[in-house]
Amino acid sequence: MAADTAASPHTGSVPTASGSGLTASQTRVIWLLLAAAFVAILNETTMGIAIPHLIGDLGITAVQAQWLTTAFMLTMAIVIPITGFLLQRFTTRAVFVTAMSLFSAGTLIALVAPGFEVLVAARVVQATGTAIMMPLLMTTLMTVVPPHARGRMMGRVSIVMALAPAIGPSLSGLLLDTVGWRWIFGIVLPIALFALAAGARWIHNLGEPTHAPIDVLSIVLSAFGFGGIVYGLSQIGGASTHGGSAADDAAATASSVSLIVSFVVGGIALALFIWRQVVLQRVDDALLDLRVFRSGNFSLSVAQLALMSMAFFGAITVLPLYMQNVLGMSSLHAGLAVLPGSLAMGLLGPVIGRVYDASGTRVLLIPGAIITVGMLWFYTTFGETTSIWTIAIAQGILSIGLAMSFTPLFTASLGSLEPRFYSYGSAVVGTVQQVAGAAGIALMITIMSAVTANESANGASDLAAGTAGAHAAFLVAAIVALPLLVGATLIRKPADQVGAPPVH
């Protein structure tokens, strides 16, 4: 079909993998990109658990500490939409070296940061490199891997996406309890430098880059649009908090104003950005080509990914807070409780990829959606006496459902596009995941905080109030996930559409 065979202007004369596998050179490139993506995601997942330690060590407030994650999310939201253009405009080697150099530089700055302001700047530099890495990996994979083997290779991506978040919190907890927060960056830095050196040596260019001029106005509109929305989402928790004191109410009012302004500016800028791209794509000069949404299968897959990211990232952010605040677990034990499920998710990735290659989407997506939705509803039964084993088993089953969903969705979405749109499709998938994940985290944390505060004001004990807050957040996550049951029946594997019109 057209989505699998149309010529790509980005691949030039480089031979595309065919037959049963890849060339040794192509395999080496993909493994190097997987390793680099693993390091970047590992870094992203180690910071959350370190916030309480940083508040004490750096002498900062909780509101200031939030910027260590907010600045990272903002940078990701701003840079990811630009990656579609970057991957078209520059060579694979140049993009990889730039991304890993930025990430390594940011990690080094964080390691030696003398204070809070420098640490925030380091996180911004790190995020710039991280934002480029996943779209580069996905675009490269779609370019060199033949259609019949893409599920298997996407399964390897699932390993990275599952194992890094699984190891991150546990590794962070161990380092924080022994040698301090700086070693979170000290462990990552040599791995990043090794990946940079290996990539500079072994990664080859996948064809000739295009020479389209960059549209500065699109970059500005993208930054204000996606950045404004993500920043607004990060302010929801502060805007909904009223501690009773004049200072708390003043802070909540300031957050409310900031939230409204951010959403208004972000919404207007995003609308203008979309209009600008529609105009520019007529002459193939768009920063982010939105013609990818002409594919119904791509659009459905992205919508499914958005709902799943919103529900999953929201719930997985609430879960460790519930385990620590209600069940009294340490940060290390809370991280270990979710480790088995994440490991299972990663290890199942290649198996699920092979099933996708052989049987298509529905055999995976339908049971995967049922498991995901069912376990999120089960989360609403967690209480003050829930055992760690119940949580670990539930998280393990949920991870299996997610594993059955993410690999088919990634593969089917990008596989529905013409090769010349792979880089833009990867950027869209990354942007949607980032914004949806931020929305899910903001929504669930806000609901949990509001319900907990309300229950406490009504005289409930701390444990009862915390349980009620977590219950409400899990309930919203389960409701958000319900449309997944419908979407799972509608998404198809592009190669299954034999005799149907090509997906454009």
Average pLDDT (490-502) is: 60
pLDDT at 369: 93
Q: Distances in Å between the alpha carbon of 3 and those of 19, 140, 146, 454, 489?
A: 18, 16, 12, 53, 21
Copy the structure tokens of residue 192.
Answer: 């990043």
Containing 336, the helix (H) or strand (E) segment is helix 331-337
DSSP 35-74: HHHHHHHHHHHHSGGGHHHHHHHHT--HHHHTHHHHHHHH
Judge contact between 356 and 414, C-beta under 8 A.
no
Judge contact between 308 and 372, C-beta under 8 A.
yes
pLDDT at 17: 39
Copy the structure tokens of residue 391.
Answer: 């949580």
Which residue in 453, 448, 433 sits closest to 236, CA to CA? 448
Q: Which domains does the chain have, with CATH numbers?
A: 23-212 (1.20.1250.20), 288-493 (1.20.1250.20)
23 vs 360: which has the higher pLDDT: 360
Copy the structure tokens of residue 480.
Answer: 């958000």
Coil, strand or helix: which one is 322?
helix
Judge contact between 388 and 333, C-beta under 8 A.
yes
Judge contact between 432 and 413, C-beta under 8 A.
no
d(CA 344, CA 353): 14
14 vs 411: which has the higher pLDDT: 411
d(CA 500, CA 333): 52
Whether the CA torsion 256, 258, 264, 267 is positive or negative: it is: negative
185 vs 498: which has the higher pLDDT: 185
Average pLDDT (40-48) is: 73
pLDDT at 206: 62
Residue 270 half-sphere exposure, CB side, CA atoms within 13 Å?
17
pLDDT at 20: 40
Average pLDDT (76-81) is: 82
For residue range 452-474, list pLDDT tens digits in order.
888 888 888 888 888 888 899 89
pLDDT band at 209 (very low <50, low <70, confident <90, very high): low
DSSP structure class, residue 384: T
pLDDT band at 212 (very low <50, low <70, confident <90, very high): low
Q: Is the pLDDT of residue 336 over 60?
A: yes
pLDDT at 482: 94
pLDDT at 365: 92
277 vs 163: which has the higher pLDDT: 277
Average pLDDT (386-407) is: 88
CB atoms within 10 A of CB 370: 15
Copy the structure tokens of residue 250.
Answer: 């003043």
d(CA 364, CA 391): 24
pLDDT band at 40 (very low <50, low <70, confident <90, very high): confident
pLDDT at 483: 94
Query: What would the 3-class secondary structure string for 414-449 be?
Result: HHCCCHHHHHHHHHHHHHHHHHHHHHHHHHHHHHHH
Average pLDDT (145-157) is: 76
pLDDT at 268: 94
For residue range 117-131, list pLDDT tens digits in order.
899 899 999 989 988
What are the b/e assignments for 42-54, b being 16+ CB within 10 Å? bbbbbbbbbeebb
DSSP structure class, residue 20: T
Beta strands in 325-435 (DSSP E): none
Residue tagged 């099933």 (tokens) = 355
Copy the structure tokens of residue 435.
Answer: 């914004």
Copy the structure tokens of residue 137.
Answer: 């990996």
What are the b/e assignments for 271-302, b being 16+ CB within 10 Å? ebbeebbeebbeeebbbbbbbbeebebbebbb
Q: Work out the burial of residue 5: count CB atoms within 10 Å of its CB; fewer than 13 is exposed, 13-18 middle, 19 or more buried.
A: exposed
Copy the structure tokens of residue 453.
Answer: 């505060």
Q: Is the pLDDT of residue 386 over 90?
A: no
pLDDT at 63: 62
DSSP structure class, residue 214: P
Copy the structure tokens of residue 217.
Answer: 């106005």
Q: Is the pLDDT of residue 244 over 70?
A: no
Copy the structure tokens of residue 93.
Answer: 């080697």
Average pLDDT (319-345) is: 78
DSSP structure class, residue 209: P
57-66, 291-300, 346-355, range with the lowest pLDDT: 57-66
